[in-house]
Amino acid sequence: MSLEGKCHCGAVHFTLNENFAQIAACNHSICHRLGTLWGHGPIENLAISANAGTTPRYSRGDKNMALHTCKTCGWQPIGKI
Ligand SMILES: [Zn+2]
């Protein structure tokens, strides 16, 4: 099953081809503050469509994880480890 959607402002579109077995809350400080829930799966199963520079990367500390957020509305479609 495929799920398609977009961020609140419409700048970022996504197609997800993954049926997550679990959705999890995370104890990263930023995830905790935002109330983010994560589904884990192969990155190949997520297609993001956005203009260059629309989803700037944010990482901190040991930089082993990067978050990409819509710079207009703040929607956070992806975190890469
Ligand atoms: Zn947006």
Q: Would residue 61 be called left, alpha or beta, if left means φ above 0 and alpha means ψ between -120 and 50 degrees? A: left
Say how many Å lie between the CA of residue 25 and the centre of ligand 1: 22
Say how many Å lie between the CA of residue 63 and the centre of ligand 1: 24
What DSSP string runs through 2-71? -EEEE-TTSS-EEEE----S-EEE--SHHHHHHT-EEE---GGGEEEE--TTSS-EE--TT---EEE--T
Domain assignments of the chain as residue spans, ordered by start: 3-80
Which pLDDT tens digit goes with each residue over 18-48?
888 888 888 888 888 888 888 888 889 989 8
Architecture of the CATH domain 3-80: Beta Complex (2.170)
The neighbouring-strand residues paired with 14 are 5, 48
Say how many Å lie between the CA of residue 49 and the centre of ligand 1: 12
**What pLDDT is attached to residue 30?**
81
